[in-house]
Amino acid sequence: MNARQKNTAILSVVVFSVISGAYFAFGSAIFLHAAQAWFAISFIGLLCAYVASGHLGVFLAMTITFCAAAVSFKFHVWWPLGAGFVLNWVLRLSGLDPGWQGFGAPRGR
């Protein structure tokens, strides 16, 4: 893991922790809805990336993100978003993330 990936991981964990902490501190559903909207927007972005690249890792991340957002919307709970976040990082750490260079490759490579 290079320095950029490490910084990105740290920033993501900090942002997620701040949002989760604010949700529990204020007890408001606004933070839950904001996180659900973020996952829905991420799903749309990952769908566009998958159509452009056809990469398996993007498809798995897209599926995890969609399932986390759908379960969270359906049952109005926060934990599927946290589980989806962790599972997407497991995918990234296992090497299934194509990175920024992977999206320029032609489909089927």
Could you report the per-residue pLDDT of 73-109, keeping only the tens digit for each?
Answer: 999 898 999 999 999 989 988 888 776 655 555 555 5
| pLDDT of the residue at 69 | 94
pTM recorded for the entire structure: 0.68
| pLDDT of the residue at 79 | 92
pLDDT > 80? residue 13: no
Q: Residue type at 67?
A: C
